[in-house]
Chains A and B, each alone.
Chain A
Amino acid sequence: MRILDKARLRLRSLFGRPDVDFELEAELRFHLDQLIEENISSGMAPQEARRAAQRTIGSIAQYQEECRDMRRVNFVEDLLQDLRYTIRSLAKSPGFTAVVVATLALGIGANTAIFTIVHGVLLRPLDYPQPDQLLYLTAEYPAIGSTTRNALSAPEYAEFRQMSKSFAAVGAYSTGGAGYTTGEVNVTTGDRPLRVRSISVDAHLLKALGIQPEQGRFFRDEETSRWTGTLPPPIAILSHELWRTAFGGRALVGQKVDIEGRPHEIVGIMPPGTDVMDNRTQVWLPLWLHPNMAEQRGIHVLYVIGRLKDSVTFDRARTELNAFVEDWGERAGTKDHVPTNHPLRATDHTLQLRTLQDAIVGSASRPIWVLQAAVGFVLLIVCANLANLVMARAGSRRREFVLRTALGASRGRLLRQSVTEGAVMAGAGGILGLGLASAGVRALIRAYPASIPRTSELTIDLPVLVVALGLSAGIALLFGFLSLWRARTIDIATALKEGARGASGAWRHHARRGLVVAQVGFAVMLVLGAGLLVQTVYNLTRIDAGFDRSRLVTFSLTLPMANSDPDTRARAYQRVLDGLRSVPGVLGTVAMSGLPPNRTPDAIATPIENYTSDDGRSFETIDYYQFVMSDYFGTMGIPIVAGRSFDRTDNASQGKVAIVNETLAKRIWKGQNPIGRRLRPPGGSFGATDDVWHTVIGVAKDVRQRGVERPAGTELYVSLDQHGVAPPSMNVVVRTTLPPAALSGAIERVVRQVDAAVPVVRLRDMDSVFAESIRRPRLLAQLLAAFAGLALLLAAIGTYGVLSYMVTERRREIGIRVALGAARSDVLTQIMKQGLQVTALGVTIGLAGALAVNRLLASLLFGVQPTDTVTIAFVIATITAMAVVASWLPAWRASRLDPNVVLREE
């Protein structure tokens, strides 16, 4: 009750101020009148009585002030006054204000932007109910040093489902390689086919994820686990987004839509934003494996996600899994291709559980933390700069503070004034920074759509706002305390006597130089990190991927399996190639199943004639099968190092031929001549009916197939021209003098003439394909370089600021020295020397710091060591150049001082 009364009274005092003042005046007037009356009744003349009363009562205005103080109104009024005063005083020094606000905006903006990513990608839980219960199960091949997370085979998945007791639900998905889709399908809407991203899931997976359809239903158990026939059941679920954009959100559940040229019933629509493993799924299809595939332990195509039971911990699930793997063979009743805890052979794999969030974020986590550290450094530099600026200003405002103290301002009141000043600037900087961050994050996602996982969910939300606000508030406080740092120890009398200059304590010089040293140190670390990453990107772009990438344009085509057979597909692709060859400006054109340098591996067990591996196998797993059409090696510019290339005459001959890469030749035939040896690739892998022996006719130079930075794997080339068949999806590559945009019309026309229902997708030049393969290091290098540039600029401003302040303070001394005959060049050298000394100390400390933490960068680098001497030399040169530039102006100004003017100033 009392609290309410008090609150009401405060509000009245604050907002009903005219009323309150009027009341107060009336009250005091009443008192005055009473006093006058008393004086009169004690015998005074009325005029005399009034004067005496007014003498006793003093100034009414002062009482009003005191009464108002009692009403605690002044706190708010002071604040408003502080604000007005702050804005006036900041407006008076627009240069200072602009530098502070801009610096803060950049610092807070960069931090907010990166923290948005840290929070949105790394920290925020996944958008499923109880996401920490979701685990991801993968197969890994430690014996060959592979860190890739591979899929499980269908029998393994079934066995794991049966054995596991820790999980409430275990489901599987496939995004390709399951013999049906490649993670993309053609969807027909109206007359235009769309190429959209697909995923094949079983009913258990949707149950495990704990999601519900927005409309319609999910797949039923029997629709996704009974794998019979030659094609999956024709049903599908659309993503909310595809349903809105491609179908305008019309009622679609129960209707038929053509997918891969076959009518599918749309059974449901997913809620907005629903996805699995950042696949950017647009169409959800029922999981289906060809019955033959489903039996094979060697075919790993299923990714497994499980939801733990409520009472089970991650550790217990992992212990349970390890126990299964210990005797999986006995449980499953087979010896080959079972998971083991003791992998010896290249084909041995173990099973690993990790949280779904870890699995999604994966390798993106380190670069993001590196960026967060980098912007943290930038913010520290910003704060050091601010501290310097504020201290310099506090020095020149000392008289003001002293005067105000002398006039009765309390220390708390002064502190409040300077904190208000800090809050106004930090607030302005924070708001600008938020704007910058929001624009920056959006631009980043637009420029690098698939480089960072979970970007579709990135927003500046409440936690990010809280962090930005916290940063600004912290800076405001820092600002306030620093402004008063000097005032703290002020002795009014001395300070006023000293006049404007005053004898600044030596400690303050040390403090300010220390701040510059810190700035330079942080800048060194950032520039070094950025230098290493820029060099990494440079190294990556210079890698010889094994073929001539210039003037190549590529696109991909998929002829749906359902309404085409391998022979007609081969003829269709042949017609596309022939059609393109007649386009002016086209020098050559070929088709291939996997587009280097970013294709997925095949890992197909291939029997080899007269061959026994170290562990007694007669087959070898070949990493990549490349099915090619037309003059592949000539057009791609891949040198044949032994034997010969495919030839037209091969097409008519009965004996099937193959070409291997250097790595395959070395691994299998170990220095012996591979020409004439035979291998038997499974015909099913490219549309042929039988497995036939292929004779090796040549050895091609290695081509980087899966990321330019990875070593080439083993690769087998088969000529589709000889077989007259083709797989559903092919990549076409055109060697041309024209850019992709100029060719797109001709390509569309040629493809439409062959099959109007087939969309041309991913039309671009080979340079963009390469750029995409190194997009993440490039993004990291670009951002780090930007932050390092910012750090350099701020450190330069800091150095400049401290030196010019020093020059201003020592004007008299310099003036006297010049008057006594010191050469101007001496003055210049001396000031520059001081600047460079501070820088040298900063560089030393920065390099030490960088060497301490750069090990964390090592895994992100390619072809360059964290201790690379060239980069370090470059950093030292850059920072020194920065220091020379920043010191020169104050030094020059000092050397130009006219002793006549300086000495007469005071």
Chain B
Amino acid sequence: MAKPTDLVQGTLDLLILKTISLEPKHGWAIAKRIQQVSQDTLQIQQGSLYPALHRLEQQAWIKADWHPTETGRMAKFYSLTRSGRKQMERELANWVRLSAAINTVVQEA
């Protein structure tokens, strides 16, 4: 399984969940959105994105539907499920805790 090497391990799931928490998005839009919000710091490779999406779907945290895009093409839109939202909140809390801890350590040293 390919891992996003330029990301802290396990954070891709959180990024995806967070990105689609407001509205359903297709894979391309998710990647673009993350890139945009992070001001091009985070570039999600397709090789990481789609396996991650399928894994999350398999965990029943996100679900997928085919809808037309604004240009009229059919695309696969992912949205959060109820348990996915809970999972996101768990991972978010985890991340806040972890990053705060890392920050503290890094700044101390």
Binding site for B on A (CB under 8 A): 1-2, 5-6, 9-10, 13, 23-24, 26-28, 30-31, 33-35, 56-58, 62-63, 66-67, 69-72
Contacts and interface: CB of A to CB of B under 8 A. Distances in A.
Given A5-B60, A58-B47, A31 B28 contact: yes
B26 to A, nearest CB: 7
Nearest to B28: A34
B1 interface: yes
Nearest to A27: B76
A30 B51 contact: no
Nearest to A63: B50
Given A30-B73, A66-B2, A10 B58 contact: yes
Most buried by A among B2, B26, B60, B83: B60
A58 B2 CA distance: 14
B76 A26 contact: yes
Q: How large is the interface on B (under 10, 10 to 19, 20 to 34, 35 or more residues)?
A: 20 to 34
B29 to A, nearest CB: 9
B91 interface: no
Given A57-B46, A66-B51, A67-B51, A23 B60 contact: no
B102 to A, nearest CB: 28
Given A2-B83, A34-B28, A71 B58 contact: yes
A5 B63 CA distance: 10
B76 A23 contact: yes
Top 10 A-B pairs, shortest CB-CB distance: A5-B60, A70-B55, A70-B54, A34-B28, A66-B51, A67-B54, A70-B51, A27-B76, A2-B60, A2-B83
Most buried by A among B46, B55, B75, B81: B46
A1 B46 CA distance: 30
A35 B26 CA distance: 13
Contacts of A30: 26-28, 73-76
Contacts of B47: 58, 62-63, 66
A31 B59 CA distance: 23
A26 B27 CA distance: 12
Interface string B52-74: 10110111100000000000011
Nearest to A10: B58
B92 to A, nearest CB: 19
A67 B54 CA distance: 6
B50 A28 contact: yes
A38 to B, nearest CB: 9
9 contacts: A5-B60, A6-B59, A24-B54, A28-B50, A30-B73, A66-B51, A67-B51, A69-B51, A72-B58
A412 B55 CA distance: 22
Nearest to B59: A6
Given A2-B83, A70-B55, A71-B54, A9 B28 contact: no
A102 to B, nearest CB: 43
B47 to A, nearest CB: 6
A70 B47 CA distance: 12
Contacts of A31: 27-28, 46, 50
A208 to B, nearest CB: 60
A24 B76 CA distance: 9
Interface string B26-47: 1110000000000000000011
B41 to A, nearest CB: 18
Contacts of B52: 70
A6 B28 contact: no
Contacts of A72: 58
A124 B51 CA distance: 54
Contacts of B55: 70
Contacts of B54: 24, 67, 70-71
Nearest to A65: B51
B46 A63 contact: yes
A60 B90 CA distance: 33
B39 to A, nearest CB: 18
A33 B50 CA distance: 15
A61 to B, nearest CB: 12
B20 to A, nearest CB: 15
A56 B47 CA distance: 10
A711 to B, nearest CB: 80
Nearest to B86: A2
B50 A67 contact: yes
Contacts of A33: 73
A33 B55 CA distance: 23
A35 to B, nearest CB: 8
B26 A9 contact: no
Contacts of B51: 63, 66-67, 69-70
A69 B75 contact: no
A10 B57 CA distance: 10
A66 B54 CA distance: 9
B14 to A, nearest CB: 17
Contacts of B60: 2, 5-6, 9
Contacts of B1: 66, 69-70
A56 B1 CA distance: 19
Given A24-B50, A56-B46, A58-B46, 5 more contacts: A10-B58, A23-B76, A30-B26, A31-B28, A66-B50
A399 B51 CA distance: 34
A892 B73 CA distance: 79
A63 B73 CA distance: 22
A593 B27 CA distance: 99
A52 B83 CA distance: 39
A496 B52 CA distance: 37
Contacts of A70: 1, 51-52, 54-55, 58
Given A63-B50, A66-B50, A67-B50, A27 B59 contact: no
Nearest to A57: B46
Contacts of A56: 46
Contacts of B81: 5
B52 to A, nearest CB: 8
A35 B29 CA distance: 11
Nearest to A4: B60
Contacts of B59: 6
